[in-house]
Structure 1
Amino acid sequence: MSIRSGLFKLLGLCLLAGVLVAGIMFPVVGAAGVISNQASETVESMSSSLADEPPPLVTTLTDREGKPFATLYEQYRIPTTSDQISEAMKWAIISVEDRRFYDHHGVDWKGTLRAAISNSSGGDMQGASTLTQQYVKNYLINVTYRGDELGQQKAQEASLARKLKEARIAIQLETKMTKEEILTGYLNVVEFSRQIYGVGAAAQAYFGTTAAELNVPQSALLAAMVNNPAVLDPWNNPEKAKERRNFVLDKMVENRKLAKEDAEKFKEEPLGVLPGGPDKPASTCVSADPAFGFFCQYVEDHLVEDLGMDKDDLYTGGYVIRTTMDRKATLEAKKAAEEEVRKDEPNVANTLSVIKPGKDSHEVVALVANKDYGTDSAAGQTVYGLPYEVFNVTGAGSSFKIFTAAAAMEQKKYGIFDTVPVPNFHVSPVFNWGGEHCPTRPSGVRTYCVSNASDGADTSMSLQDALAKSPNTTFVILEEETGMGPVVEMASKLGLRKTMASRPADGRQPDPDHEKPEYSMSQKEFYGPNELAPNGRGMFTLGASPVSGLELANVAATIMSGGVWCSPTPVLEVNDRAGKPFPVKEPECEQVVPEELANTLAVGLSKDTQPGGTAASAAAAAGWDRPMIGKTGTTQFQGSAAFVGATPQLAAAAMVFRPDIPYGGLSYGGPGNVHATANGNMFGGMTPAQTWFRAMKPIMADLPPEPLPQPDPAYTKMR
């Protein structure tokens, strides 16, 4: 090397050293001082975040008894304190990543200058980082810029500017935290591959142990992995992982934390990780227990979509959410749904939604389907919210007659013991339809015609008997007398809130710009009086429109709660990562109909399970002997069916339907025969009712029978 080139290199090193020193110092003079002060504020803010803000944690969902059944997270992490981490783990990471950790004040100047020189000639600067600096970088990548790809790139780019900023934060950090706090913070934030972060989670996932129990070879492997978690994954790349682990053992010997003979012995040992991959909990509802997946997803949807909780906060906040789910009831309901309809039955969903009535809350007890919650459709899995979303697009049939009866009672048109007409065929003078065999009015508009499922000898009966025997003509006539506005409003009041806000075509949100009314209107608008149908649409009472099974169950819960509607809730309490209550504000309960009306309507619905009622056979087969309310429903061509029922203690709705047919699919879906384990099909009094009783009898086995409320004379006889 010439004297001249040597002088230039010396000059370059001096300038570089000056840049490093100047970059880390905090000048406060003139314009440069203003810029530096702004940078210092950023450094101060970041160092404060590292010192005070914890990283993402796992949110746990428990049943009502406090037993976990699902977890939600982006980063699997088990927080550990310093005394919960073995000395072997601490010295393994120090020996391989920052041997002078206890000697420097955040930056290893010797290593930094050496790396800077290497970088100036095209080398890599990464080897210069202290554990404090690595803590800064890992925190920025895994916490601050989590989900921000550009921010993560900037936090690890090989540039002098980034290195200077990182060094300044590290120096500042060491004025706020002790060495043990920094080491513990680093070991809690660093990544170990496969969504596993922090030594606590790594110890459990890799070895089935705790951070406190990690031995030397286990600690060496985990310390090895932080260098490149993906490349050194011990299940995918065991040879590379072992090579790096042994390198860490050598570094522990160099650092006088391990005897050489012990290191050589440990090198011969296998990696010792759990066979088949890491042991870690499910990260989403999809990978939770299939029996509990629908409930898990409903909790998430309710908190985020209904109550406005931030989804990212839900997945990272480390909450413990005690839900309303009854484990026994859920397992019994799941068993019943599968026994009535096999989970691999093509395109047939059998659901059951269970709610606890009450005047202060309506707690969701169980949400199940014959399908498992998951992504493998060939195995009978689905991620559709079958038991709770507005997903049964072909309807719940005659169960909607509940709303017509309630509206007629509210207007004092009929009481439950009043006589109602029961013609076998009826041509409506009010509603338009244009169906087969319907005459045309002088105006050219086709009339709406309706007939009963079968001809009967009775030309009249009490409203109570009509609710049990379900003649179609009767309830269309009641709609004519009551008006469609009050009927569709009653459906919404009693519980079909999201259902009535959805569009009649497919249960999705209305598209105001769509040319077809069934896509542009909500069900409430479509079936109530509107410009296209001034008197409304009378087929509403026959229940051929999309409906939520959970909301249908809540209708029964509202009736059994004395006419008090409450939003179905799956949450009892939420505690944050510190164990403190996190506020969850549910909508206020509402007295939607007079208590006297609700109690009398309950009596009016009490004969469906008795001889002559449409659910009588299913009730008798199950040996059911409790007082209850009930209503079956079957849509045209048996494309879907439902049974909604309740005792004073529990309300539930069972529905069987085809989840994968488009609007209008009934016309080519064919009759809904179900090749089930049990001998049932898509009639409300069969598969749905059989599912209901098969589940509810064991669920309620330990609850004493309770009587229905007494009817009020104001709503029994009005004529």
Structure 2
Amino acid sequence: MNSSDGKSKNQNKLIRKILKYALIIFLSLFILAFLVGSILFISYAKSAPKLEVSKLESKPSSIIYDKDGKVIADLGEEKRDLVATNEIPITLVDAITSIEDHRFFNHRGVDPVRIIGSVVHNAKNDTTQGGSTLTQQLIKLSYFSTSKTDQNVRRKAQEAWLSVQLERKESKEEILTQYINKVFMANGYYGMRTASKAYYGKELKDLSLPQIALLAGMPQSPNGYNPYTNPDGAKKRRDTVLSSMLEYEKISKDDYNKAVETPIDSGLKQLTPSITIPAFADNFLKQVIEQVKEDTGQDITAGGLKVYTTLDSNAQRYLYELVNSNDYVAYPDEDMQVASTIVDVKTGAVTAQIGARKQDPGTVFGNNQAVNTDRDWGSTMKPLVDYAPAYEYGTYKSTGTYILDTPYYYPDGNILYDWDRKYMGQMTVRNALVLSRNIPAAKTLEAVGLENSQNFLEKMNFNFEPSLQYSNAISSNNRGSGKKWGASSEKMAAAYAALASGGMYTKPYYVTKIVDDEGKETNLKPEKVRAMKETSAYVVTDMLKGVITGGTMTNGYIPGLIQAGKTGTSNYDDTAAETILEDYGQYIPSGGTIAPDENFVGYTTNYSMAVWTGYKNRMIPLYGQKLEIALDVYREMMKYLSQNVPNNDWEMPEGVYRNGSELTVAD
């Protein structure tokens, strides 16, 4: 053997050694990677959410009922019309599995063959192909975000783990049904049956092959394959589904050719909004959603709830028509705004509410001025801030107590005037309230004390920023703070309902109960609380009866109806008033009132109603007959509400005595 042969043998031995050790290193690294991967997988799997089949099942839309149990609206943001397994056509099953997971009936939740195939496809092509099975897609839709930023190794491991578990619990048919009911189908629709009815006006079983192929292909990119907004993309995707069905021998070549030649808009209906809210109840239903969210943390629009509300549909329709037409009230122009809340005195429930006038009928959950606290309620605050606390804390005993309407300075040194810049001298508390004199009201608050008045108001859910001020004797606006402290038509109607019900206050509510998709019932009625003594409520009510018959405005008078109430006019500061007079002076009588807000709160033993009027731009003033609109709205609505209910007077409670026209509260 020559030296070259020996050298060659040594080289071969060295190569074999290198290969041997390389193989050992490779296998070691592979085993190490497998172990690390397994440990990570186990770690991720342990942190996965608990598999609950109920989360996979799609909920129907939430249904909203009025007080009589009639359906008002379907508020499901995820509009769903669920399909049962036995209602799914086999053609749809073939279409979905062909495009999404053709080995669906062969794997157990995770498909290694599909994963490898997607890796090979993605390496060879510009287009990407996912490795997730239908089961994994259902898990993703039910438990995880579909955002690309959330598609990480942890989530993929958790999806796989939950998918394997799900396949052990549920049949393939059940999983596919849940997927069909779960997927988003664009335009606010969820579930393929929902889309079938919305897009074609048909049940799934009645769809043509190209229509089924379109629906089957949409879930991967609902907006990208939306036939209404992207017909080219929708057709391309539909034809891809048909090609897959042909490849896996689910349809014939002849069926394929006919289907791809069908226009993408064949059979499509004109689309209607997925959420349909009756315009007359839009503001009310907005508050329904907010109450349920606040009280239970649940989102009605997520579906699955039956929501029973306090809405009187007939009253709500009448209020909507009253505010939006000129058939009952002579509105000065189209821009004037009205907001109002009506409360049932006996229950504290909101019966009807409107938060805007001439709102676009297509608006869904628009601005609701009825609950906003950014406008001034003026002298409607006097019964609550000044006079009721005065009788509650014993500052006054009689409605005949005399008080002076004379020049007055607030404790902080600022002078206070009445609207007429006049003084009426000595007058009774009753006349001071009926005639809405500012100075007696401010003197009353000073005598009661800010702390007592604030404590009194807090029982009726009024909030203060930063605290009650002496200027609140005649206004809901904290002068100089630039902040409002919480008056709205909702709050005012509820507070006056406490006067009407003998001092019992109920936080205004819109929902009586909700029932979830499992039949669990939750009561949302708030409890009544005593806000003031019965004697205080009765005395103030007795005085407020005179406001409509002999007070500052009498156009709210309804012959024969026993009622009480209070007007409220806000003010401009001197600078704003000068600007207003420059712009509108030619229309305003000399010495006439100008105001950004005019309000009225009135009540009977049955209903309490608060009305605000003004303009969105508060620099457009109310003057002349515009100042009468709030009472006009109240009058027309209260006439309607009082038609079929008893016209009862308030019963004088023990501890109150009448001496002529005046009342006295016993010690």
TM-score tier by shorter-chain length is 0.7 to 0.9
State yes or no: 1:562 paired with 2:502.
Answer: yes
Which residue of structure 1 aligns with residue 642 of structure 2? Answer: 700
Contact 1:75 1:196 survives alignment (8 Å)? yes
Query: Relative to 1, partners in 2 of residues 1:608 and 1:210: Cα closer, same or farther, differing over 3 Å?
Result: farther
Deviation at 1:452, TM superposition (A): 5.7
Contact 1:207 1:272 survives alignment (8 Å)? no
CA offset digits 1:353-408 (Å, max 9, x no partner): 111123xx4101112134356799xx9x994331012121x333354244322122
Which residue of structure 2 aligns with residue 717 of structure 1? Answer: 664
Compute the TM-score of the two structures, normalised by the length of structure 1.
Answer: 0.74
In 2, Cα distance between equivalents of 1:34 and 1:109: 19
State yes or no: 1:614 paired with 2:612.
Answer: no
State yes or no: 1:646 paired with 2:586.
Answer: no
Deviation at 1:174, TM superposition (A): 1.8
Please give the residue correspondences for 1:449-460 in structure 2 after superposition, counting only pairs within 5 Å: 449-451=416-418, 453=420, 459-460=425-426
Deviation at 1:564, TM superposition (A): 0.7
In 1, Cα distance between equivalents of 2:202 and 2:332: 37
In 2, Cα distance between equivalents of 1:410 and 1:166: 64
Contact 1:293 1:372 survives alignment (8 Å)? no
In 1, Cα distance between equivalents of 2:614 and 2:422: 26
State yes or no: 1:406 paired with 2:388.
Answer: yes
State yes or no: 1:431 paired with 2:411.
Answer: yes
CA offset digits 1:551-583 (Å, max 9, x no partner): 111111101111011111111111112232135
Secondary structure in structure 2 of the residue aligned to 1:688 = helix
Contact 1:630 1:646 survives alignment (8 Å)? yes
State yes or no: 1:61 paired with 2:1.
Answer: no
In 1, Cα distance between equivalents of 2:341 and 2:177: 46
In 2, Cα distance between equivalents of 1:228 and 1:556: 54
Contact 2:56 2:142 survives alignment (8 Å)? no
Which residue of structure 1 aligns with residue 560 of structure 2? Answer: 625
Contact 2:380 2:600 survives alignment (8 Å)? no
Compute the TM-score of the two structures, normalised by the length of structure 2.
Answer: 0.79
State yes or no: 1:578 paired with 2:518.
Answer: yes
Which residue of structure 2 aligns with residue 103 of structure 1? Answer: 106
CA offset digits 1:495-523 (Å, max 9, x no partner): 3x24x32x2xxxxxxxxxxxxxxxxx23x
Contact 2:63 2:75 survives alignment (8 Å)? yes
Query: Which residue of 278, 282, 291 corresponds with 1:293?
Result: 282
Query: Which residue of 197, 209, 217 corresponds with 1:216?
Result: 209
Deviation at 1:544, TM superposition (A): 4.7
Which residue of structure 2 aligns with residue 507 of structure 1? Answer: none
Which residue of structure 2 aligns with residue 354 of structure 1? Answer: 342
Deviation at 1:692, TM superposition (A): 0.7
Deviation at 1:484, TM superposition (A): 3.5
CA offset digits 1:105-162 (Å, max 9, x no partner): 3345544433333445677662654xxx13423542x3323386632x438xxxxx97
Query: Which residue of 256, 276, 281 corresponds with 2:275?
Result: 281
In 2, Cα distance between equivalents of 1:90 and 1:694: 60
CA offset digits 1:19-52 (Å, max 9, x no partner): 9x9999xx9xx88765554344356x56x24675
Please give the residue correspondences for 1:105-120 in structure 2 after superposition, counting only pairs within 5 Å: 105-119=108-122
Contact 1:319 1:577 survives alignment (8 Å)? yes
Deviation at 1:209, TM superposition (A): 3.4
State yes or no: 1:469 paired with 2:445.
Answer: no
Query: Which residue of 324, 327, 348 corresponds with 2:310?
Result: 324
In 2, Cα distance between equivalents of 1:31 and 1:402: 71
Contact 2:200 2:269 survives alignment (8 Å)? no
Amino acid at match of 2:343: I
The CA RMSD over aligned residues, in Å, is: 3.8
In 1, Cα distance between equivalents of 2:444 and 2:161: 78
CA offset digits 1:61-111 (Å, max 9, x no partner): 332233444455553333333124333322332343334433333345544
List runs of 5+ in structure 2 lacking aligned partners: 1-22, 479-483, 572-593, 658-662
In 2, Cα distance between equivalents of 1:254 and 1:343: 70
In 2, Cα distance between equivalents of 1:103 and 1:331: 58
In 2, Cα distance between equivalents of 1:624 and 1:113: 85
Contact 2:397 2:665 survives alignment (8 Å)? yes
List runs of 5+ in structure 1 lacking aligned partners: 1-13, 156-160, 283-287, 435-447, 504-520, 528-536, 662-668, 675-679
Which residue of structure 1 aligns with residue 169 of structure 2? Answer: 176
Secondary structure in structure 2 of the residue aligned to 1:478 = helix
Secondary structure in structure 2 of the residue aligned to 1:707 = coil
Query: Which residue of 365, 371, 388 corresponds with 2:371?
Result: 388
CA offset digits 1:193-232 (Å, max 9, x no partner): 2333221321232223344554534322201323432222
In 2, Cα distance between equivalents of 1:31 and 1:95: 35
Deviation at 1:626, TM superposition (A): 1.2
In 2, Cα distance between equivalents of 1:403 and 1:569: 23
Which residue of structure 2 aligns with residue 226 of structure 1? Answer: 219
In 1, Cα distance between equivalents of 2:69 and 2:332: 29
Tell me the percent identity: 23
Contact 1:343 1:371 survives alignment (8 Å)? no
Contact 1:51 1:176 survives alignment (8 Å)? no
In 2, Cα distance between equivalents of 1:618 and 1:52: 55
Which residue of structure 2 aligns with residue 5 of structure 1? Answer: none
In 2, Cα distance between equivalents of 1:718 and 1:584: 37
Query: Relative to 1, partners in 2 of residues 1:22 and 1:397: Cα closer, same or farther, differing over 3 Å?
Result: farther
Which residue of structure 2 aligns with residue 666 of structure 1? Answer: none
Q: Which moved more, 1:292-301 or 1:640-649?
A: 292-301
Amino acid at match of 1:299: V
In 1, Cα distance between equivalents of 2:620 and 2:220: 61
Contact 1:467 1:605 survives alignment (8 Å)? yes
Amino acid at match of 2:474: T
Amino acid at match of 1:483: G
Deviation at 1:184, TM superposition (A): 0.7
Which residue of structure 1 aligns with residue 137 of structure 2? Answer: 137
Query: How many residues are matched?
Result: 603
Query: Relative to 1, partners in 2 of residues 1:31 and 1:235: Cα closer, same or farther, differing over 3 Å?
Result: closer
